[in-house]
Amino acid sequence: MPSSLPPLDALPDEARQSVRTVSLDPGALICLEGDRCVSLPFVLSGEARVYRTSASGRGLTLYRIAPGESCILTASCLLSGHPFPAFAEAATPVEAALLPADVFVRTFAEVPALREHVFGLLARRLGAVIELVDAVAFLRVDERLARYLAENADTNGHLARTHEALAEALGTSREVVSRTLKEFERRGWVALARGSVTIQDASGLRNY
Amino acid sequence: MPSSLPPLDALPDEARQSVRTVSLDPGALICLEGDRCVSLPFVLSGEARVYRTSASGRGLTLYRIAPGESCILTASCLLSGHPFPAFAEAATPVEAALLPADVFVRTFAEVPALREHVFGLLARRLGAVIELVDAVAFLRVDERLARYLAENADTNGHLARTHEALAEALGTSREVVSRTLKEFERRGWVALARGSVTIQDASGLRNY
DNA sequence: GAGACTCTGTGACGGAGGTCACAGACAGGA
DNA sequence: TCCTGTCTGTGACCTCCGTCACAGAGTCTC
C-alpha cells in the first residue's frame, strides 16, 4: 500500500489494507457519465481530466486532478448516491490509489484528516467551476485561450498540446483554436510547432 | 433566536446565543464580490440569488438559496479565507439567521450536524454549477429559456418575472428573451403578460 | 523512399445571438 | 387626466464562432 498521502496515512490500519493502486495509460477512461462509483481514487502521479461532452460531440474540461488530489465528484457521488455526472480520463500516465467505496463512506465520518481533505478539495473545485461558468458565459474564445495558455504553460512558457486537445479543454472546435493561435503568432505572442505552443510574450497574452 | 433549523438547533447553547436574525427587502445586496464574509447566513424564509456579472454588465445566476439552506460560497470562504467570488442578493423578502464567522469556524469541526449540512449543500451546489456550465457551453438560449421556465414555474405554470429578470438569470440580454418568448407564444407554449409568463403547453416546452 | 496517419492552415458560409434604436403598451402617482 | 417610469415588441445590423471542405506539412513504419 504505497499510499504516502496524508489523508490515506491517517486511515485506521484495517482501512489502509483495503487500498489498491492502479496504473493507467494516457486516454484511459476512469469514470463514465452515469457510472456508479465503486472507489475513491487518489492520484499519486500524473494528471487526470474531468470533462463533459455536448450532444454534437464537443468536449469541455471541468477541471484537472493533480497528484495528491482525488476526484471530488466521485466523493460527492459516493456520499450522495448520485451517478457520476461527467467523464474522467487519464491525461498522462497516472498512478492512483483506490479506496473502496464502502470503506470511504464508513471512515469519512470518523477520520478528520480524510474529511478535511475532501471538504477542502470540494470547496476549491466549486470555486474553480464558478470561474469556468463565468469564462464560458462572458469571455470570447480568444480571451479564454490566451488565459489558458498563460495558466498552463510550464516555466519556460512551453505547453505540449495539440490544437485538438486545446479545443477540448475550452469546449470549442479545432479550427477555431488553429485560427486563434495563428493570430497570436502573428502578434509575436507565441511560437507554434506541431503538438506544442511556446509563449514568447507573456505580458501581451495576459493583457489581452 | 428563532433558529428552527436542524443544523442550528444542534449547536451548543453558547453558540446558539450568538445567532441573530435579519430581514431583507427584495433586491438588498447580501454579499459583494471581493467581500470578506463576517457571518454564515441560513435562509429561514424567502429566497436569495447568487450571481456573477460580466464586464459589460450582464448577469448570470449561479444558483438560488431556498429556506433551510445557507450560502455555501460563504461557508467555503470562511473556511478557506478567500474573498467572496460573486454577488448575492435577496430575490424576495428574506429572513435569515446569521451565525458569526468565528463561531462557525470554531463549531464546524465539532458539530457533526453542521458539518453534514454544509457538506451536503456544497456537494449539491457543485453538481448544480456543473450542470450550469454544461448548459451555458452547449445549449442555445431558447433551449435554456424553455428549460428555465419549466423548472421555475409554480404548479399552475405561472412565473412572475420580467424579461429583464429572465435575461439576468440566463446571462443573456432582455431583447433576446423577449424575442424568444414571443416565438414560444406563437407556438402556443406560453401566454405572456406584463411581468409574468404562464405555461400553456408544458410538454411542448419540455420536448424542445 | 512510399504510404498512411496525424496535425495544422485556411477560405467560405451560415446561424445564433448581442447591440442599437425606437415605438408603443401599461401602471402608478400627482 | 397627464406625466413619468417601467416593461415589452421588433427591425436592422454585425460579430463571433461552429461547420464543411480541402490542402499541405510532419512523423512514423515498413
Q: For residue B158, what are the contacts with CB-CB under 8 A and spacing of at least 6?
A: B196, B197, B198, B199
Interface of A with B in 174-203 (CB under 8 A): none
Band the pLDDT of A208: cuts 50, 70, 90. confident
Sign of CA dihedral B200, B203, B206, B207: negative
Residue type, B31: C
Residues 14-33 of chain A: which lie with beta carbon within 7 Å of strand C? none
For residues A73-97, average pLDDT: 93
Q: What are the beta bridge partners of residue B22?
A: B96
Low-confidence ranges of chain B (pLDDT < 50): 1
Where b means 16+ CB within 10 Å and e means fewer, B31-59 reads: beeebebebbbbbbebbbbbbbbeeeebb
**Nearest chain A alpha carbon to B78:** A123
pLDDT of A61 over the 70 cut:
yes
Q: What local confidence, expressed as pLDDT, does residue B80 receive?
A: 86
What is residue B145's predicted lDDT score, i.e. its pLDDT?
98
Q: State the CB neighbour count (10 A cutoff) for residue B148.
A: 20
φ and ψ at B47, to 5 degrees? -145, 140
Rounded to the nearest angstrom, the minimum Cα separation between A77 and chain B is 8
Whether A8 contacts A99, CB under 8 Å: yes
Q: B133 in contact with A at a CB cutoff of 8 Å?
A: yes
The C1' atom of D26 and the CA atom of B38 lie apart, in whole Å, by 58
In the predicted structure, residue A70 carries a pLDDT above the cut 80: yes
Of A80-84, A101-105, A189-193, the poorest mean pLDDT is in A80-84
Q: Indicate the pLDDT class of residue A207, thresholds 50, 70 and 90.
A: confident
**H-assigned helices in A59-111:** 72-80, 101-108
Q: How far apart are CA A117 and CA A7, in angstroms?
A: 6
CB contact under 8 A, A129 and B126: yes
Total-model pTM: 0.93
Tell me: the pLDDT tens digits for B21-74? 999 998 899 999 999 999 999 999 999 999 999 998 999 999 999 999 999 999
Q: What is the distance between the alpha carbons of residues A44 and A64, in angstroms, rounded to a whole number?
A: 14
Cβ of A183 less than 7 A from strand C? no
Please state the rounded mean pLDDT for residues A134-161: 97
CA of B137 to C1' of C6 (A): 28
Please give the backbone phi and psi of residue B157, each rounded to the nearest 5 degrees, phi first: 80, 15
Best A136, A143, A170, A208 residue to mutate vs chain B (most B CBs within 10 Å): A136
- Mutate: best of B138, B143, B173, partner A, most A CBs <10 A: B138
In this complex, which of A54, A126, A171 lies closest to B76 when CB atoms are compared? Answer: A126
Work out the angle at residue A6's Cα, subtended by the Cα atoms of residues B76 and B121, and round it to the nearest 5 degrees. Answer: 25
A6 CB near a chain B CB, below 8 Å?
Answer: no
With a pLDDT cut of 70, the percent of chain A lying above it is 98
- What is the reported pLDDT for A128? 95
Nearest residue, CA→C1' of D7: B194
Average predicted confidence (pLDDT) for chain A: 94
